[in-house]
Amino acid sequence: MTADPGERDWYTKAGVRKDPRRLLRDELRTGQLYFPPSLVPYTRHLRVTELPDEAREALLARHLFQYLHFTTQFETRVVNRATDLIASGRSGLHTPPETRLNAYRIYCDEGYHALYSYDVVRQVSDASGIAPLPYDFTPFLTRLDAVGTEVLPGEPVLAQLLQVVVFETLVTAILNDVPKDQRVLTVVRDIVRDHARDEGWHHAFFARFFRDLWTRLTPALRVRVARCLPGLIRSSLLPDLRPVHAALLLAGLSPARAEEVVRDCYPRDRVEADMRSAARHALRLFEETGVLDVDGGRDAFHAEGLLPGRHTT
């Protein structure tokens, strides 16, 4: 892997090196939003629009908290778990010193993303008086790890490397849309913008890393990897609806009505369309490298609903 010119500027351009601590301004009383309602499907449901203003405001705050808690956990428990394998030379691949150095830089970036995500949860919660709901990342991680255990048995390190390749090449609406919404709290827009800037070169690093990784795999292992990747994409992108349901209950909805809202706002067709949109850059990478062309590769992506035509049953 050759170094990207932008990586050589990490010491002056990375957020952890140059950005100030992002602080909550005196914006809560002026009506600034915690999160863009357009990115929270259930805010438009009739059952939710009938709730008191303060209950709907708390829902947006808790959606922000859920997103930031997920970010904190994912960066440290998934991304940095794999990045450490590359940086420390334990990936099973020959990695040049510059590649390992860049992996250490990314490790620092991701730890900083986790830090300021949790920092903003505390700032906003303390100022608003809205308590975050307990967040349990373990079910998500268990589901993600199970994909590798099932499809790549005996290859735990490779499975973890593929997890980070997948996630770092996905594109979500949050990183693109939140910084542009002037109605949202400045501190939220700032940290999402900071995160998106760092993720730009992380995407480039892991795309190159995968291209190099793919060329080193045996034909038999390429088949197994091609059948593993779509499951990793799907597991990474399926919405975690447990915190949504819990927040709706706390907002005052009955269990039956909370379930109705979740069912109506996250229909399968919409969820799969959103997944295909978020995965479009990852899919392009796998198409260009020939992943979809190996035996059973394209069928595996179809089976997970990631390509038009066939969907999961």
Q: Which two tokens stand for residue 293?
A: 């062309």
First to last CA, the chain: 39
Q: How many CB atoms lie within 10 A of CB 52?
A: 10
pLDDT-derived band at 239 (thresholds 50, 70, 90) equals very high
Q: How many CB atoms lie within 10 A of CB 131?
A: 13
Cα 32 to Cα 50, 120, 252, 273: the distances in Å are: 21, 15, 23, 30
pTM for this entry:
0.93
pLDDT tens, residue by residue, 11-25 = 999 999 999 999 999
Burial pattern 75-104, b for ≥16 Cβ within 10 A else e, equals bbebbbebbebbbeeebebebeeebeebbe
Q: How many CB atoms lie within 10 A of CB 39?
A: 17
DSSP 8-state symbol, 281 = H
Contact call for residues 167 and 140 (beta carbons, < 8 A): no
pLDDT tens, residue by residue, 45-82 = 999 999 999 999 999 999 999 999 999 999 999 999 99
